[in-house]
Chain A
């Protein structure tokens, strides 16, 4: 019986996400499109170059790795394309081509394939790639430097650096509506907050991502930012600003919710999300990096197996 392939199970994800993995990834790409399209309209051809190269390279890296590892081809499940898209959404439109090629290689090879492909990755692949680039080549991710050639009818200072330098005064340069409509500097697909929220809500309603993680992450960011803001309203920006700037929303809906690197039970998911949100604001306000989302989620990915130890009570069991 044990030789019957029907009884051989693989690693997580085990949560029911719809009809198929392919279905899930294509719907996630669809949900990301509003933010991507607004990013393309804002940043133009350079943004298209980054997105096309990132998605193309990610698919090709996965194909090559499957050939090398002698594994069945998996590129048609769409996950490599999704990883490439999410990685591109985090980058400024003016990054050099080699950084895109290298980043997509890190995401696919180090972030995913060496762990056995989808379901085996301990970290969200696009986040791992962006984290390695943040540490190794931080100046390419400095939006204030990268986007000096662009000018719009809103402040082009990266909101989180403005808040870091000038506190609440710096954050006042953007209204909530500005931030929702993407009138802020940032990554190609991470500025249009409204699009990210719509995409996230769509994924939650269709059951492709867990609302517990996304909402608890946003809640964690908001509550921690509120506490900082109440402690020192001059030095620290408020919760709405922190939720609508930087990588918060793309992190909450598209990165923290990665199946393999996040917990599956209710309480662990809530703790994972709140912990990620808490660490995000902690790093932003008193840490070294101006945006803490990347390292906060990676740290919570690391802690995810520990959260998995919190087991749900067996259904129907009587103590």
Chain B
């Protein structure tokens, strides 16, 4: 390539794009909806994704918030996420661990209504 004076044109564009990229990263973040669309639980056996919108919306399964968020007093209350009380790791006598709570809730309901998924690998997907 011929020697040229000054910075290459594409380098100037590159610096411009770098500034745009830094600005966008600094001012915008990934969207976080007030009511989650989906909740992804990362576990040692792979990520299990729960479609919150499908279960909660009237167009989907149409469950009430109270069906799962059992600490709620009424529908107006902002529900607590499962993981706020049911922590990862070992549970205690007072509070079962997150894995047990979710397995009981999800698999129990799916078995009761005879719907998939029920088996481990139908929910837990390893990315590698």
Which single member of A49, A74, A93, A290 contacts B1 (CB below 8 Å)? A74
A60-B125 in contact (CB<8A): no
Interchain CA distance A145-B49 in the complex, whole Å = 8
In this complex, how many residues of chain A approach chain B with their Cβ under 8 Å: the count is: 53
A56-B24 in contact (CB<8A): no
Chain A residue nearest in CB terms to B48? A144
CB-CB contacts below 8 Å: B36-87 with A: 36-40, 42, 47, 49, 51, 53
B8-A73 in contact (CB<8A): yes
A289 within 8 A of B: yes
Which single member of B1, B4, B11, B47 contacts A145 (CB below 8 Å)? B47
B1-A73 in contact (CB<8A): yes
Which single member of B3, B21, B37 contacts A148 (CB below 8 Å)? B37
B20-A161 in contact (CB<8A): no
Interchain CA distance A77-B53 in the complex, whole Å = 47
Given contacts A60-B18, A148-B40, A157-B49, contact A46 B28 (CB under 8 A): yes
B128-A165 in contact (CB<8A): no
B37-A150 in contact (CB<8A): yes
Interchain CA distance A36-B4 in the complex, whole Å = 32
B30 within 8 A of A: yes
Q: A154-191: contact bitstring with B at CB < 8 Å (1 yes, 0 no)?
A: 00110001001110010000000000000000000000
**Which stretch from B92-100, B103-111, B116-124 is at the chain A interface?**
B116-124
Interchain CA distance A161-B117 in the complex, whole Å = 14
Interchain CA distance A73-B12 in the complex, whole Å = 13
- B126: which A residues are within 8 A, CB to CB? 288, 290
Chain A residue nearest in CB terms to B121? A165
B38-A53 in contact (CB<8A): no
A144-B49 in contact (CB<8A): yes
Chain B residue nearest in CB terms to A148? B38
- B51: which A residues are within 8 A, CB to CB? 157
Which single member of A100, A151, A156, A166 contacts B122 (CB below 8 Å)? A166
Which single member of A56, A72, A97, A165 contacts B16 (CB below 8 Å)? A56
Q: Most chain-A CB neighbours within 10 Å: which of B4, B47, B128?
A: B128
Interchain CA distance A76-B4 in the complex, whole Å = 11
B71 to chain A, nearest CB (A): 23
B100 to chain A, nearest CB (A): 22
Given contacts A56-B15, A63-B8, contact A164 B42 (CB under 8 A): no
Which single member of B18, B30, B122, B127 contacts A57 (CB below 8 Å)? B18
B33 within 8 A of A: yes
B13 within 8 A of A: yes
- B42: which A residues are within 8 A, CB to CB? 139, 145
Interface residues of B (CB under 8 A from A): 1, 3-4, 8-11, 13-22, 24-25, 28-33, 36-40, 42, 47, 49, 51, 53, 116-117, 121-123, 125-128
Question: Can you list 23 contacts pairing A with B, beta carbon distance less than 8 Å?
Answer: A44-B28, A45-B24, A52-B20, A52-B24, A53-B18, A53-B22, A56-B19, A57-B18, A59-B14, A75-B10, A78-B10, A135-B128, A144-B47, A145-B49, A146-B30, A148-B37, A149-B32, A150-B31, A151-B37, A157-B51, A165-B125, A288-B126, A289-B128
